[in-house]
Amino acid sequence: MTLTPTLAALLTVFAVWLVACIWAGFRTRFLLFLLVLSIGLALNAMWMVFGLDARVLEPHALFAQVLVVLYAVGGFALGWVAGRLLHRWRDGRVDKDDA
């Protein structure tokens, strides 16, 4: 399998979108997450309709949209957990002045 320019562009957009979901979770920004999620759903629908000639309500297209939501929620959760761990680690740190 070769990496075509179209596939490279799609993977790049997906990676940037997933990083945005993780960042929204890390910063605990729910409205930003909803915005990023809606942009991802719109981009995925446009790719399926214009790039793949799929109909929006066919089962495979709906399944792909559900997967976009699951990827986004997973990315948000990963960022949220990482943010919580970092904040707990910083709060539990012992400084030399405290000893």
Give the domain ranges of the chain: 33-88
pLDDT of residue 99: 55
pLDDT of residue 87: 92
Tens of pLDDT, residue by residue over 17-72, are 999 999 999 999 999 999 999 999 999 999 999 999 999 899 999 999 999 999 99
Report the alpha-carbon angle 41-85-72, nearest 5.
Answer: 5
Read off the pTM: 0.86
